[in-house]
Amino acid sequence: MPEFPTFSSQHAAALDRAWTVLEGGGVVAYPSETVWGLAVLPDHAVAVQRLYEIKGRAAHRPVQVSCQDARAALELARPDAALTALSVLWPGPLTLVTPALPETSPMLAPGGLVGLRVPSHPLALALLRRSGGRLLTTSCNRSGQPPALTAAEASGMELADFVLSDFSDGGADELPVGGQASTVIQLPQGTVLRSGPLDGAVAALLARLQTGG
């Protein structure tokens, strides 16, 4: 796990504000190590519907469930050797689309599949911890458009009710996002749905699993 910084009173106030917005059914824009994201509480049906509408995404296409740690992610998924092997890459820019446990809410796993992610950006993890460990998330953009890479871009898109910025010297983006979306892998097949920063690491772990190494 990454070491978490001690957040300033300004950060703490922003996190409190973000939680208030989420609790009220709102949408929060937040930084990750990849691109900026949009988040809602997964058990708030109206907020979930709004997220899909903002994104312009079909309801049968799952968005990510971002989790505070690997344990919170694995609790939603059917046990699978490849899932366990790849979970060592969390926290990090990796999304695993995998069969969900039957008791997982359909709002998290439409069609029985859940997309699991554990970000490594400290502020994203702080927001997840503040929000009970899981959020339904997607990149901060409308479908087909490039995602936001800065707080200013996220704010300018006017998709969120609140933009959770880092604060450094009065500005934003103390920990800049990487600009490349996460690697997305379909399990149990191990199919690459989207190339990203961890393609090589994923391939190596899956090859080792297949050879019993």
Domain residue spans in the chain?
Answer: 9-211
Kindly state the percentage of the chain with pLDDT values over 90: 78
Topology of the domain comprising 9-211: DHBP synthase (3.90.870)
Greatest alpha-carbon pair distance for the chain in Å reads 52
Residue 169: its pLDDT value, please?
38
In whole angstroms, give the CA distance from residue 27 to residue 25: 7
pTM comes to 0.91
Nearest C-alpha neighbor of 202 from the set 41, 88, 86, 106? 86
Residue 7: its pLDDT value, please?
64
pLDDT digits (tens, 9 = 90+) for 90-112: 999 999 999 999 999 988 998 89
User: How distant, in Å, are the alpha carbons of 36, 154, 180 from that of 175?
Assistant: 12, 15, 15
pLDDT digits (tens, 9 = 90+) for 31-73: 999 999 999 999 999 999 999 999 998 877 889 999 999 999 9
Q: Where are any strands of DSSP class E within the chain?
A: 28-30, 37-40, 64-67, 94-99, 113-117, 134-139, 162-163, 183-186, 191-194
